[in-house]
Structure 1
Amino acid sequence: MQKIKEVFLVSPFLVFFLIHSEQVGVGVLGYQRIIAKYAGYDSWISVIIAGIFVHILIWMIYYVLDNGGGDIVTIHKTLFGGFIGNIFNIAIILYFLLWSITVLRTYIEVIQVWMFPTLNTWKIAVVFLILTYYVVSSGFRTVTGVCFFGVVIPLGLIALLVYPLHFTHFSNLLPLFDESLKDYLFATKNMMLSYLGFETVLVFYPFIKNAKKSQKFAHYANIFTFMIYLLITLFSFAFFSQEQLARNIWATLSMVKIVQVSFVERFDYIFVSVWCLVILPNITLAIWCSSRVAKLMLNVRQHYTLIVVLAIALFTCILLNTRFKINMLNNYTNKIGFYLAISYIPILFIATFIRKLMKKKGANSEQSSSSS
């Protein structure tokens, strides 16, 4: 693992903000319709199942990093060799790039639908990507600072959920446990897109001071994310009928739309505008991860890989010019993220466990032979 100077390291507790800021993003605006498609109003159970599943995956990731040296590029080459290891590295680069494009293009669509229908996609994308370049090129500590404020500043928006309580009917949630196990599993699979982001720890782990102590903060972040998603899910299901939810692409925004104050006519405009503080950490951390792995793999300055990654992101956003393409992008990202979670991370865990076991047996055999 490449030794990182202490001046570039961040405290273990900041992992809470890094992971939570990446998990809560554009998905929170409209995930309810997607999970309710399979398990109906019982889909809140899938929120719990997905949250527990992510806790297990976080534990696996930390096991791999703690026992593999902490650098994912080195871990890939150690476990799978140079050629296959580089294939895994390329896959990680493309995955985080895909993730950042999905978040950026989906948020741009929200802006175009709710606020500025005639605004060109490339103009909004350029603004976000220039900000991303400034943050990422300033170093990981700056990325961490953006993630910190991306959690703290918009936190008050959660209080807006109190207003729709006047129009909720929690009897909608009855009867409980009325769906099949297959429906719950499909809903959990769709819910995974909203929980994705925890896997960024695979890349930024070497930048954490006393990294092993940060695992509890990673779990705290996932618990906080789970609580937010469960709360929004229950409120949404109590607010909308199933027919309304099936037709509503952004259920959370629709709930916020009914908020009325004397000095603002459309509060959803404020919500969408402030939400950019949540989206920016999503994009910056994912872009940083993608350009960082490319830097380590190609052994070049991260400045060069950053420019290439941003250029690809901008070009792709411009090409995604219809609702069908954006929806397809979200579906593919969800599938790739889900299969990454249930296959790639367990494979790393099993390979690391076997390697550790073999090293332990080798050390024991050497010790016994020397003593004899």
Structure 2
Amino acid sequence: MKRYPFNEITTMQYICLNSGIQMSVFFLAMPRILAEKAGTDGWIALIIGWIITVAASLVVIQVMKKHPDGTLFDLLTRYLGKWTARVTASLFVLYLFYYAYTGIVQAVLITKAWLLPQTSASTVMLLLLIPTYVITGNGLRILARYAELVFIISCWIPVVYLLPLKDAHWLNLLPLLKEGWKPVFSAVPTTFFSYIGFATTFILYPFLKNKQKASSIIMISDTLTMFGYLFITLICFVYYSPDEIQKYNEPMVNILESIEFKFIERMEILFIAFFLLIFSLAWIPAMYLGVYSTSWLLGKQDHRNHFRILWLFLAVGTFFFMPTFNQSDRMNELLRKIGFGIEYVFPSCLLIYLWMHNRFKWRKNL
């Protein structure tokens, strides 16, 4: 009997959720960061990072196959005891809340910089938290449908980004590996920040309808994320010169200034407003999964009371402190380091432990 029949999510919804968590507000600056690390060869680092991410994602799936009807915390309770599971759940709560906070802070800063420069940060935060409350309070199925809707109505965006290619300089990409492999490999750790978020599968897996194809599904999701990053990175690389691209903090937004329509004066303003929907797929799922984890810790079925506390904390806390862009960049760097440990290292260590546990148990039963 299924434990979560009323919160099951379809294959498409999972792909949208996972890709949305990965490809969110952080992708605006990705072309510049890669150019600083590896020049116009930075796109190669994206592909290498994708290969490593797919491998790590498949490890997560293999771990969850050991206990398909429960989350990571249920699996750890079964194999390592309830206190290990509680400690892990607590760490995941902190990680997910920090992930959500960095995402919504970045969205607030970008909204103030491009859309509402005269509006206080606390007001912008409140405006973003209101729809967050509505979506998160209605459970995973509504959240999954929201992610699916955002994905569908965003399909036209790549078409618009093809317009600047009329002024593209494809020779910017040549020659390949201008300075060898060293700069490319040095940029690979940066790409991990672009892909983190797939560890939410530890919690989402039992809700997935078609678990038999989970490996293929997560590979499709990671590949979709990679193509999104690769698409916008290559466009920025061929439009801007290798030195010019490093002058823009968010080249993905600045490139829109070259697009002109008679009925729209500033295309980038329209896109930033629309991008908020995509950005929200960073903090809304992370908040939901974070309060779901706190509910598991306390043995509660309803996560909404926990979310109300978090919501009030963010709404009120912004009146007293709001990070700057520099502080936000340092927060993102810390998130990358923590995310690497939780999403790439931890699943591999856990899979090795489970393999050894089952192997020794089998030998003991002989």
After TM superposition, is the score higher than 0.5?
yes
1:304 and 2:308 are equivalent in the alignment:
no
- Give the C-alpha shift of residue 214 in structure 1: 3.0
Task: Please tell me whether the aligned partners of residues 122 and 315 of structure 2 are also in contact (alpha carbons under 8 angstroms).
Answer: yes
- Give the C-alpha shift of residue 3 in structure 1: 5.3
Structure with greater helix percent: 1
The one-letter amino acid paired with 1:240 is Y
The corresponding residue for 2:32 is 33
Task: Please tell me whether the aligned partners of residues 15 and 214 of structure 1 are also in contact (alpha carbons under 8 angstroms).
Answer: no
| Paired residue secondary structure (1:172) | helix
Task: Please tell me whether the aligned partners of residues 101 and 317 of structure 1 are also in contact (alpha carbons under 8 angstroms).
Answer: no
Q: Distance in 2 between matches of 1:81 and 1:337?
A: 24
| Paired residue secondary structure (1:10) | coil
- Runs of 4 or more above 4 Å deviation: 315-318
The one-letter amino acid paired with 2:330 is M
The one-letter amino acid paired with 1:299 is G
The corresponding residue for 1:201 is 201
Q: Distance in 1 between matches of 2:293 and 2:179?
A: 42
1:107 and 2:123 are equivalent in the alignment:
no
Mark the CA change 1:356 to 1:250 in structure 2 (over 3 Å): closer, same or farther.
same
Task: Please tell me whether the aligned partners of residues 92 and 290 of structure 1 are also in contact (alpha carbons under 8 angstroms).
Answer: yes
| Paired residue secondary structure (2:156) | helix
1:231 and 2:231 are equivalent in the alignment:
yes
- Give the C-alpha shift of residue 315 in structure 1: 5.2
Normalising by structure 2, what TM-score?
A: 0.93
The one-letter amino acid paired with 1:84 is T
Task: Please tell me whether the aligned partners of residues 58 and 218 of structure 2 are also in contact (alpha carbons under 8 angstroms).
Answer: no
Task: Please tell me whether the aligned partners of residues 125 and 317 of structure 1 are also in contact (alpha carbons under 8 angstroms).
Answer: yes
Identity of aligned residues (%): 21
Q: Structure 1: which 5+ residue stretches go unaligned?
A: 366-372
Q: Distance in 1 between matches of 2:79 and 2:182?
A: 35
| Paired residue secondary structure (1:155) | coil
Count of matched residue positions in the alignment of Structure 1 and Structure 2: 363
The corresponding residue for 1:7 is 6
Mark the CA change 1:210 to 1:20 in structure 2 (over 3 Å): closer, same or farther.
same
Task: Please tell me whether the aligned partners of residues 42 and 184 of structure 2 are also in contact (alpha carbons under 8 angstroms).
Answer: yes
- Give the C-alpha shift of residue 80 in structure 1: 3.6
The corresponding residue for 2:67 is 68
Task: Please tell me whether the aligned partners of residues 12 and 148 of structure 2 are also in contact (alpha carbons under 8 angstroms).
Answer: no
Task: Please tell me whether the aligned partners of residues 105 and 317 of structure 1 are also in contact (alpha carbons under 8 angstroms).
Answer: no
The one-letter amino acid paired with 1:328 is R
The one-letter amino acid paired with 1:356 is N
Mark the CA change 1:262 to 1:210 in structure 2 (over 3 Å): closer, same or farther.
same
Mark the CA change 1:204 to 1:133 in structure 2 (over 3 Å): closer, same or farther.
same
Task: Please tell me whether the aligned partners of residues 97 and 313 of structure 1 are also in contact (alpha carbons under 8 angstroms).
Answer: no
| Paired residue secondary structure (1:277) | helix
Report 1:194-343 matches (<5 A).
194-300=194-300, 301-314=302-315, 317=318, 319-343=321-345
- Give the C-alpha shift of residue 5 in structure 1: 3.8
- Give the C-alpha shift of residue 68 in structure 1: 3.2
- Give the C-alpha shift of residue 281 in structure 1: 2.5
In the TM superposition, what whole-angstrom CA distance separates every residue of 1:261-315 from its partner, at most 9, and x where no partner exists?
1100001111011111212222221111101111101112312221233334445
Task: Please tell me whether the aligned partners of residues 143 and 281 of structure 1 are also in contact (alpha carbons under 8 angstroms).
Answer: no
Task: Please tell me whether the aligned partners of residues 38 and 186 of structure 1 are also in contact (alpha carbons under 8 angstroms).
Answer: yes
Q: Distance in 2 between matches of 1:81 and 1:5?
A: 23
- Give the C-alpha shift of residue 189 in structure 1: 0.9
In the TM superposition, what whole-angstrom CA distance separates every residue of 1:108-150 from its partner, at most 9, and x where no partner exists?
1111111221211111211222211211111110000111012
Q: Distance in 1 between matches of 2:149 and 2:12?
A: 14
- Give the C-alpha shift of residue 177 in structure 1: 1.6
In the TM superposition, what whole-angstrom CA distance separates every residue of 1:141-198 from its partner, at most 9, and x where no partner exists?
0000111012111121111111110121111112212335443233111111111222
- Give the C-alpha shift of residue 210 in structure 1: 3.5
Q: Distance in 2 between matches of 1:146 and 1:343?
A: 31
Mark the CA change 1:192 to 1:311 in structure 2 (over 3 Å): closer, same or farther.
farther
